[in-house]
Amino acid sequence: MKNFKRYTVTAALPYANGPKHIGHLAGAYIPSDVYVRYLRSAGKDVLFVCGSDEHGTAIPNQALKENTTSQAIIDKYHKLIYDCFKKLGIAFDIYHRTSEQIHHETSQEIFLTLYNKGLLTEEVSEQYYDDEANVFLADRYIVGTCPKCGNPNAYGDQCEKCGSTLSPRELINPKSTLTGKAPVLRETKHWYLPLQNYEGWLQEWILKEHADDWKANVYGQCKSWIDAGLQARAMTRDLDWGIKVPLPDAEGKVLYVWFDAPIGYVSATRAFFQEITSGKIKYAQPQREFKNAKADDWKTYWQDPETKLVHFIGKDNIVFHCIIFPIILKAHGEFILPDNVPANEFMNLEGDKMSTSRGWSIEMHEYIEDFPDKPDVLRYCLLANLPESKDSEFTWKDFQSRNNNELVAILGNFINRALVLTQKYFDNKVPARGTLQPVDEEVIRALKEHPRTIAASIEQYRFREATAGLMDLARLGNKYLAETEPWKVYKTDPARVGTILNIALQIAANLAIVGEVFLPFSAKKINAMLNLETKGWSDAGSDALLNPTHPLGAAALLFEKIEDDVIAKQLQKLHDKKKSMEPVTVDVAPLKPEVTFDDFSKLDIRVGKVLAAEKMEKSNKLLKLTIDTGVDKRTVLSGIAQHFSPEEMIGKQVTLIANLAPRKMMGIESQGMVLMAEDADGKLKLLQPSEAVFPGSVVS
């Protein structure tokens, strides 16, 4: 494997149209953060960039939905998302924004370079235009009747009923989903990147060079794209929100969001060096010292072949990061290419796909609100369940058991045991070590081995395995104490106990070093308890991190148990949220055949008043109502017993059909029918005049 001088690590730019959930964390942000923390701890030259993706059609759409401006949307969600990352310990060197000037310039420069090299093609085509909303319509925003199966709700790109792929022009009776109007065809010009010209190169670069080191899901996805044959893809759009196409004849055109978004990594890097060299810090938060940095240093991180570029993303982004963006970089000519793109699969939640819009999700800010002092618990739980090779599952029960059985019982407990014993027997000072016994030598050997295997896992992007390694190290400590039983030995041989606790404390100090990568907040606490400065990975595995007589800090609990009711509450909250998000109009019954006015006027619909109500015996559905219809008082049976009690019906005004032929039910004749509206959830609601009217009032 090639040895690199430095690393540029990116995490997918979150799209700033809404909050992000823990599935996003598991996909890209937690693994990238662990990777970077490890590299930093190992003293590597690494830069970790991310930022908000703030262009594309979905932003103005979200603005419409929230009744505000696009700018307000991106401001709101940029802040929300970044705050969450910070509180969860995701340690970017810079978290930038694609709406910044420097990003617009960088994207335009790269676009112009491709243009000037003659690598973009220009094409005029006819596209549907909504002349009420004054926008060109993306295929998705057009619905109409499917020419193949007659489904009236087929999208401009595909009919979901018969599965056939369509183009908007094929739809019968196309309509804009924005205004409901029929769209018109209009000519528009766009600039395309002919991806097919790079097929040969991609075959060489991905299919040959990365056959072994890219993950199966990533490699397979790329192979399927390349084998299917690539096509020219438009790199511009008709939209007024985004980066202006830097050409004279491109009024009203912006760069395609997938053209500019990955360039965001580059502009963030540029902004980073600009900010730290000028001292005008706006977004940069350097997580280590950047000595003698120059504004131009961004180039080293993006153009020097000795830099290793790694993109962390979710599986939905594979094609953009492995095919399209690399083609842009390659076409430009001066950039390095990603060495790896360790894309994760998706994380499900309690047996179902996570979805913010369906309300089936745990948003980052929701977690932080409910568990403000537990960022590491979430980090650990996600790390232990990362969807590295297939979709995985987050459940609150698992969250609880990971916390109680692993963080509390194994890691927290070991640290606590080592410290409490030292307090008790050695006045809270690190005891000196005597002659080592085989059991000591064995544990020291194992201690040295752990950081090595953990590092190897991380370098292969196997973060789940690496996390298990951390917990194994804590297990090693517990096992050592159980085997040596210092609390027993102390009665006969206090010096021997000194040796044991010295070694146990060295293990604790190692847990702080290794833990910093996975659980930074807890690692900090361990260091405070040990009264130790943060140490780097080069010290990991050492059995001499604490010197004899070194005074320890105060012992405190590292993690606390999570009780059942906390978990039950979260589950309830999740289900409630889903319910509140359910669309109002579900399964609306189709229209019945037309009737004439004469048909309608045959019905005698009038308002009556319930005088008496009682349950029908042996029926769980029927209520027997006595209704004042104005002309008479009559008995009506109504199948509403599961929705209304007899008591609450008495005195109510109801709408009834008074001339419906009488019908016998359960031995009693019903002389009319009370009208009800059935809600989406099957619940019945009374149909009443908005204000009380005289019984017998006719409805027409």
Partner RNA sequence: UGCACAUUGGCGUAGUUGGUAGCGCACAGGGCUCAUAACUCUGGGGUCGCAGGUUCGAAUCCUGCAUGUGCAACCA
Interface with RNA in residues 2-61 (CB under 7 A): 12, 14-15, 17, 53, 56-58
421 or 454: CB nearest RNA: 421
Separation of alpha carbons 320 and 669, rounded Å: 70
Sheet with 172-176: strands ordered across: 154-155, 142-145, 172-176
Contact 417, 497 (CB under 8 A): no
104 or 606: CB nearest RNA: 104
Three-state secondary structure string covering 650-684: CCCEEEEECCCCCEEECCEEECCEECEEECCCCCE
Interface with RNA, residue 648, by CB under 7 A: no
270 or 417: CB nearest RNA: 417
The stretch near RNA (CB under 7 A) out of 150-158, 201-209, 292-300, 568-576 is 150-158
What residues from 613 to 642 belong to the interface with RNA (CB under 7 A)? none
Instruction: Tell whether the torsion through CA atoms of 508, 513, 516 and 517 is positive or negative.
Output: negative
Residues 454-473: x where in contact with RNA by CB under 7 A, - otherwise, as a string: --------x-xx--x-----
Separation of alpha carbons 229 and 233, rounded Å: 12
The alpha-helical segments, DSSP class H, found in 173-294 are 199-202, 216-228, 257-278
184 or 420: CB nearest RNA: 420
Angle in degrees, 0-180, between the axes of helices 494-518 and 375-384, rounded to the nearest 10:
80
Interface with RNA, residue 207, by CB under 7 A: no
What residues from 154 to 173 belong to the interface with RNA (CB under 7 A)? 155, 157-158, 163, 165
Q: List, in order, residues 6 or more apart from 368 with CB less than 8 Å away.
A: 84, 87, 88, 375
φ, ψ (nearest 5 deg) of residue 157: -110, -25
472 or 604: CB nearest RNA: 472
Interface with RNA, residue 203, by CB under 7 A: no
Residues 104-133: x where in contact with RNA by CB under 7 A, - otherwise, as a string: ---------------------x-x------
Query: CB of 164: closest distance to RNA in angstroms?
Result: 7
Q: Which of 66, 204, 296, 393 is in the footprint of RNA by CB under 7 A? A: 393
36 or 195: CB nearest RNA: 195
Size of the site for RNA (CB under 7 A): 83
Interface with RNA, residue 652, by CB under 7 A: no
What residues from 64 to 93 belong to the interface with RNA (CB under 7 A)? none
Of the candidates 300, 265, 297, 268, the one whose C-alpha atom is nearest the C-alpha of residue 284 is: 268
Interface with RNA, residue 285, by CB under 7 A: no
Separation of alpha carbons 301 and 307, rounded Å: 6
Residues 543-562: x where in contact with RNA by CB under 7 A, - otherwise, as a string: --------------xxxxx-
What residues from 424 to 443 belong to the interface with RNA (CB under 7 A)? 424
What residues from 491 to 520 belong to the interface with RNA (CB under 7 A)? none
Q: Which of 150, 180, 220, 651 is in the footprint of RNA by CB under 7 A? A: 220
Contact 451, 537 (CB under 8 A): yes
Interface with RNA, residue 191, by CB under 7 A: no
Query: CB of 141: closest distance to RNA in angstroms?
Result: 8
Query: CB of 215: closest distance to RNA in angstroms?
Result: 8
Separation of alpha carbons 626 and 630, rounded Å: 12
CA distances from residue 297 to 109, 303, 330, 338, 559 in whole angstroms, order as listed: 18, 10, 20, 18, 42
Q: Which of 29, 265, 320, 367 is in the footprint of RNA by CB under 7 A? A: 320
What residues from 298 to 317 belong to the interface with RNA (CB under 7 A)? 315-316
Query: What is residue 538's DSSP assignment?
Result: G
399 or 644: CB nearest RNA: 399
Query: CB of 225: closest distance to RNA in angstroms?
Result: 7
Interface with RNA, residue 586, by CB under 7 A: no
Contact 475, 483 (CB under 8 A): no
User: 637-643: long-range contacts at Cβ-Cβ below 8 A with a sequence spacing of 24 or more?
Assistant: 637/665, 637/666, 637/668, 637/670, 638/670, 638/673, 638/674, 640/674, 640/676, 640/684, 641/615, 641/616, 643/683, 643/684
Cα 41 → chain centroid: 27
Query: CB of 2: closest distance to RNA in angstroms?
Result: 19
Of the candidates 561, 519, 559, the one whose C-alpha atom is nearest the C-alpha of residue 414 is: 559
Q: Which of 388, 440, 516, 543 is in the footprint of RNA by CB under 7 A? A: 388
216 or 584: CB nearest RNA: 216
Query: CB of 276: closest distance to RNA in angstroms?
Result: 28
What residues from 338 to 377 belong to the interface with RNA (CB under 7 A)? 345-346, 353
